[in-house]
Structure formats: C-alpha cells, structure tokens
Amino acid sequence: MAALLVTNIGQLVTWDDEQPIRETAALVVDGGRITWVGSSSVTPLADERLDVGGATVVPGFVDSHTHLVFGGDRSEEFEARLAGKPYAAGGIRNTVAATRALPTPQLRLRATRLAAEALRSGTTTLEIKSGYGLTVEDELRSLEVAATLTPHRTFLGAHVVPEGTDASSYVDLVRGPMLDAVAGVATAIDAFCEDGAFDEDQCRAVLTAGAGRGLAMHLHANQLRPGPGVQLAASLGALSADHCTHVTDEDVTALRDAAVVAVLVPAAEFSTRSAYAPARRLLDAGVTVALATDCNPGTSFTTSMSFVIALACRELGMAPLDALRAATVGGAAALAQRDVGHLRVGARADFVVLDAPSYVHLAYRPGVDLVRHVVRAGEVVR
Ligand code: NIG
Ligand code: FE
C-alpha cells in the first residue's frame, strides 16, 4: 500500500497526551496505520496526497454497543410511546419472533445495510450483539451474521426469557449448550440485568460462564431503574456497564475503582422518553465514559454517532470535547481495542474528514451530515 499524505487539515483531533488537538496539521498513512503527524507546512515523503482544504479530521467513531442483527421493526411501539405508553423489556419478544422468521440471507442483508449506514456516518469500529434469536440455532446464526461485519461480537442470549420456558431453565440453556455453540464465534458476553429480564444471580451465572470460555464481559445495567447491575459488573471485572441511567454514588465509585467503562446510550433515553444518564457525575468522579448508539429496533433505532454526540452535549451536560472523546477513545476502552479511537502514530488509520471548521460542529449542527470522507485502515471508504 502506498503512503498517503493527508494535508491542509484545519483542525486535527489525535488525543495525543501533549497536544490532543492540532491546528493546520497533516498526517501520513502507511500500511493502514498512522505513521506521522505534524504541521501542514512540512511535506514528508508520500506517494499520494490528499488536500482536505482546511477541513476537520477526527478519529473514526467507535460504536461499542449495538444490536443490529434483527428482523422486523417496532415503529408501532414507538408511536404508542409517543402517545404515552411506557417502554418495557417485554417488547424484545416481538423482535425475537420477527428475527426467527427471517431467512438468513435477508437477516444478513439487513444487518449489512445497517453496518454500511454506520460506516457512512463515520463509525469505523462497531460492536454487534446477538439477543434476538434466543435459541441455540438462532443465536449462533445472529453471531455468524455479525462475524461477517465486525471482530467485536457479543453473545446476548440472556436478553429476555423467551416464551414457553422459565427463567432458570433458560439460564441453564444459555450458559450450557448455547454458550458451547457460540463460544467460537462470539468475542464477548452480555446480559440484561433488569426487572422483567434477568436478576443479579442469573446475570452472574451467565457472565462467569462466558468468562470461563475466554469471553470479555459487558452488562446491560441500571437502565430502567436502580438495581444491582453496575455493582455486579464492577465485582466481575467486566469491560463495561452499559446504560447506567439510574446510578447511586456507590455505583459510581465502584465503576471508577474497578476501571469499568460506563457506556452511555442517550439515543435510547431519547426514544424511550426516559431520564438521561448522569454523565457529569460519572466524569467528575473519574469514570471512563463511552458513548454508543445502542442501535436496536426497540429503544434506539439509529446508527448515528453524531446524533449521540449532539444529545450528549445538550442533554447529558457533556462538553463537546468530552463527548467526542467518549465516542472515540472511550468506545475503544469499552472494547479493549487500544489501536483505534485516536490518531497517534501507530494507530489504525481510521478517521473522518468533516466539512466543518471544528469538531464542535458535530453537536452544533445536529442532524446535518458533515461527513465528507471516511477512512478505515487507510482506505477511503466514503
Ligand atoms: O439496550 N436493554 C436491553 N436491550 C435493548 C433494547 C431491546 C429492545 O427493546 O428490543 C437496549 O435498550
Ligand atoms: Fe443495548
């Protein structure tokens, strides 16, 4: 692969310790990696040159929490919510039925379209969960679809108890035969710790079984009300506790002390018309925060990290710089992938060229497609 010089960058966000943001900058990409970062007045040797005319360059977004393998949609449920009906975990079963009914080629096509939509909007690293199959075959099928799209594949067999079974036999299935079937395809395990889904002991049993098979742990925690999820994630040493909408001061301290990433998903709160997560309390306490879309048909049908950033600034009280950090290097921490989410020398060359004079415009111009180019592993994909 020939070396590419990207020059005339008006503002470059690298997250370098000394100089996280540079003005009038340039960078060189070689072999899919960043090999040089400096001033655009210097001209290092390169085979090709891309002049971005003063545009802003930020690291590609890292969306560390999505559920984008599913059939059907739940627009009627959304519409009912707008008329005042509250969200409940049980709606997941409608998507389970629609997902099981969909032949694999269609399931793959739909997920592929959503992943392409995410990439076009600047998401260069994507996590995908299963959780709408809930049988051995259907969970495996979902994870095999995810495997065609991303290296970050999370087994969420413990999403809800499917119809026709009881919680305790279903948990035995999830941590037994289902885990056996998916352990070679999944890279992580997750569970939905919530009234109406799984309790603390059930989630612990599922996550420890997954960890025993070498899977990283995530947990849907404290989404709909306060509960034991965050503390459980911390005690198990999970990579992340996701949602964290209803957290006590003890929960916040536990996240910080156990270095568990709080993955916040404000688009879910937007769509379910719920209170937003206390991002400021988490940040002020020193917790690592990530922002993700939670893309799924029930609570958050969006792939747009720009939208999530705008919400985080307006509704979670995050400064634009904090929000961009959470949407890039924060997401990378939630996935334990250290070579993405930043643009220091050695990073994977994943970045977004924005038609804007500064990264602030991501929140300042909500709903506007500012993405001019997306580069993934050194390849211009948009
Ligand atoms: O992250 N909370 C659990 N899972 C999804 C919602 C799933 C659904 O309603 O289909 C979430 O919000
Ligand atoms: Fe989720």
Question: What is the DSSP code string of 116-136?
Answer: HHHHHTTEEEEEEE--S--SH
Query: Which pLDDT does position 334 carry in this prediction?
Result: 99
Q: Which residue has the higher pLDDT, 90 or 196?
A: 196
**Mean pLDDT on 288-293:** 98
Query: Which pLDDT does position 88 carry in this prediction?
Result: 86
Distance (angstroms) between ligand 2 centre and the Cα of 294 equals 5
Q: Which atom of ligand 1 is nearest to the CA of 223?
A: 2
Tell me how far apart the alpha carbons of residues 64 and 243 are, in angstroms, rounded to a whole number. Answer: 12
Distance (angstroms) between ligand 2 centre and the Cα of 276 equals 15
Q: Is the pLDDT of residue 90 over 90?
A: no
| Pair of tokens at residue 149 | 């799209």
CA distances from 174 to 92, 140, 239 (A): 17, 12, 20
Contact 316, 306 (CB under 8 A): no
- Run of H or E including 77: helix 75-82
Pairing mode, if any, of strands 4-13 and 48-51? parallel
To test the pocket of ligand 1, the residue of 73, 299, 301 to mutate (highest count of ligand atoms within 8 Å of its CB) is 299
Query: Which pLDDT does position 45 carry in this prediction?
Result: 87
**Nearest in space to 125 (alpha carbons), one of 382, 374, 357:** 374
DSSP H helices in 9-103: 75-82, 92-101
CA distances from 286 to 147, 179, 281, 308 (A): 34, 34, 9, 21
Contact 297, 291 (CB under 8 A): no
Q: How would residue 113 be classed by pLDDT, with cut points 50, 70 and 90?
A: very high
Q: Which atom of ligand 1 is nearest to the CA of 194?
A: 2
**Nearest in space to 308 (alpha carbons), one of 335, 283, 336, 277:** 277
- In a 13 Å sphere around the CA of 339, the CA atoms on its Cβ side amount to 11
Phi then psi for residue 152, to 5 deg, are -105, 100
Query: Which pLDDT does position 1 carry in this prediction?
Result: 62
Distance of CA 293 to the CA centre of its chain: 6
Tell me how far apart the alpha carbons of residues 213 and 184 are, in angstroms, rounded to a whole number. Answer: 9
Contact 130, 101 (CB under 8 A): no
Distance (angstroms) between ligand 2 centre and the Cα of 88 equals 13
Q: Is the pLDDT of residue 276 over 80?
A: yes
The DSSP letter of residue 194 is S
Over residues 159-169, the pLDDT tens digits come to 999 999 999 99
Q: Is the pLDDT of residue 207 over 90?
A: yes
Mean model confidence pLDDT for the chain: 97
Q: Which ligand is nearest to the CA of 89?
A: 1
- Flag the least confident range among 87-96, 122-131, 266-275, 316-325: 87-96
**Mean pLDDT on 351-368:** 98
Tell me how far apart the alpha carbons of residues 140 and 267 are, in angstroms, rounded to a whole number. Answer: 28
Contact 322, 309 (CB under 8 A): no
Distance (angstroms) between ligand 2 centre and the Cα of 83 equals 23
Q: Which atom of ligand 1 is nearest to the CA of 70?
A: 10
Ligand 1: residue whose CA is nearest its atom 9: 298
Over residues 240-257, the pLDDT tens digits come to 999 999 999 999 999 999
Contact 78, 271 (CB under 8 A): yes
Instruction: Give the length of the chain.
Output: 382
For helices 229-236 and 200-212, the axis angle rounded to 10 degrees is 30
Contact 130, 69 (CB under 8 A): yes
Share of the chain above pLDDT 90, in %: 97
**Mean pLDDT on 289-315:** 98
Over residues 115-156, the pLDDT tens digits come to 999 999 999 999 999 999 999 999 999 999 999 999 999 999
Q: Which residues have any ligand 1 atom within 6 Å of their CB?
A: 67, 91-92, 95, 192, 220, 223, 268, 294, 296-299
Model pTM score: 0.98
- Flag the least confident range among 38-47, 200-209, 211-220: 38-47
CA quadruple 50, 55, 56, 58: dihedral positive or negative?
Answer: negative
DSSP string for residues in 228-282:
SHHHHHHHHT-SEEEE--S--HHHHHHHHHHT-EEEE-HHHHHHHT-PPP-HHHH
Distance (angstroms) between ligand 2 centre and the Cα of 242 equals 7
Distance (angstroms) between ligand 1 centre and the Cα of 63 equals 16
Q: Which ligand is nearest to the CA of 223?
A: 1
Ligand 1: residue whose CA is nearest its atom 8: 298
DSSP string for residues in 197-215:
SB-HHHHHHHHHHHHHTT-
